[in-house]
């Protein structure tokens, strides 16, 4: 029986590796290399690439700390173990729609007796992170739409009030999730595991919710800064506010793309082309930025996650 489980694990890991490898060696991907080499030859721009690469581990350390907090009501885990669980989720999530496989990856690397708790914690962590993806896009929505849809300044006050109301609403939803779901369930009256898991977030104190939200904000600032630095590395010269609005808008749009991460690199690339073209940025620059950030922020931790998963005992999840 042990041999069967090991074979199953090997097959799953092999599929993940194959999908990642095919994406890296894709013909369109290889086309980015010339543009990348050109920028590398301009030495004074290299510092931007170095900085955005160096701060990548901080992103996952923050996510590990967030996982510690989310699991604190159920068990105490070390930061090292939390990071292992996180990268395991990245490895599986990269080949599943909407990265929903992160649930499975985190489950396999966690205590098998904490299945429901792991799913509830993953869900709340995802909600907190998407909160900032949406908030960033909403806060800079006026500048974003002014650049992409040529919205005039007459709409500035309108966008400001809409943004304020949306931000207040999102904050209320985050802190009132269990109550809101209970209210919806009275109207829906249909049992759902997801509803029960969201209701289960009532176990979290306001202090934990605050800390999770702050850590999610810091993560957002890091990958926002990485994108900003990447565009500077690639030689994009636009006003900093316009660049910030485009980045926030792209992350807002990407939040709603339900594609596996290994496929969505080019779907996201198409979004980037559409958005950046409004500022006169070349398509190859937008695609190169998308691919390099995908490689640094997802593929590297995913490979670490594959190693963690290769050493995990999956038999506990079939008992």
Average per-residue pLDDT for the chain: 77
| Other residues' Cβ atoms within 10 Å of the Cβ of residue 165 | 11
pLDDT higher for 192 or 249?
249
C-alpha torsion angle, residues 260, 263, 269, 274 (rounded to 10): -80
Q: Check residues 92 and 39 and name the one with the higher pLDDT.
A: 92
Read off the pTM.
0.82
Give the number of other Cβ atoms within 10 Å of residue 256's Cβ: 10
Q: 106 and 88 in contact (C-beta within 8 Å)?
A: yes
- The model's pLDDT over 113-122, given as tens digits with 9 standing for 90+, comes to 777 778 888 8
**pLDDT tens figures, 10-27:** 665 666 666 656 555 554
The answer to whether the CB of 249 falls within 8 A of the CB of 134 is no
pLDDT of res. 317: 47
Note the pLDDT tens digit of each residue in 199-220: 566 778 889 899 999 999 999 9
| pLDDT greater than 80 at residue 103 | no
Angle at 130 between CA 189 and CA 282, to 5 degrees: 135
DSSP state, 278? G
C-alpha dist (Å) from residue 305 to 27, 54, 87, 94, 216? 26, 19, 4, 11, 21
């Amino acid at each position: 029986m042990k041999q069967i489980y090991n074979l199953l694990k090997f097959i799953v890991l092999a599929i993940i590796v194959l999908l990642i490898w095919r994406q890296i060696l894709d013909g369109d991907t290889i086309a980015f290399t010339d543009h990348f080499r050109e920028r590398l030859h301009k030495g004074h721009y290299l510092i931007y690439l170095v900085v955005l690469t160096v701060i990548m581990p901080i992103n996952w350390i923050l996510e590990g700390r967030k996982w510690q907090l989310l699991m604190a009501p159920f068990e105490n885990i070390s930061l090292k173990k939390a990071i292992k669980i996180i990268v395991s989720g990245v490895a599986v999530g990269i080949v599943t729609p909407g990265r929903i496989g992160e649930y499975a990856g985190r489950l396999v690397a966690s205590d098998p007796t904490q299945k429901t708790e792991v799913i509830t914690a993953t869900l709340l962590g995802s909600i907190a992170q998407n909160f900032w993806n949406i908030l960033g896009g909403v806060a800079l929505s006026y500048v974003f739409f002014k650049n992409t849809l040529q919205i005039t300044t007459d709409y500035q006050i309108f966008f400001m009030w809409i943004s304020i109301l949306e931000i207040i609403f999102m904050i209320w939803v985050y802190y009132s999730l269990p109550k809101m779901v209970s209210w919806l369930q009275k109207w829906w009256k249909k049992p759902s595991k997801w509803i029960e898991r969201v209701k289960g977030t009532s176990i979290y104190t306001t202090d934990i919710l605050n800390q999770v939200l702050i850590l999610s904000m810091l993560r957002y600032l890091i990958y926002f800064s990485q994108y900003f630095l990447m565009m500077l590395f690639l030689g994009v010269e636009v006003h900093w506010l316009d660049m910030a609005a485009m980045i926030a808008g792209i992350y807002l749009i990407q939040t709603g793309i339900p594609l596996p991460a290994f496929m969505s690199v080019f779907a996201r690339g198409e979004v980037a082309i559409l958005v950046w073209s409004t500022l006169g940025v070349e398509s190859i620059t937008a695609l190169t930025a998308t691919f390099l950030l995908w490689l640094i922020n997802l593929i590297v931790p995913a490979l670490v996650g594959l190693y963690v998963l290769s050493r995990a005992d999956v038999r506990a999840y079939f008992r």
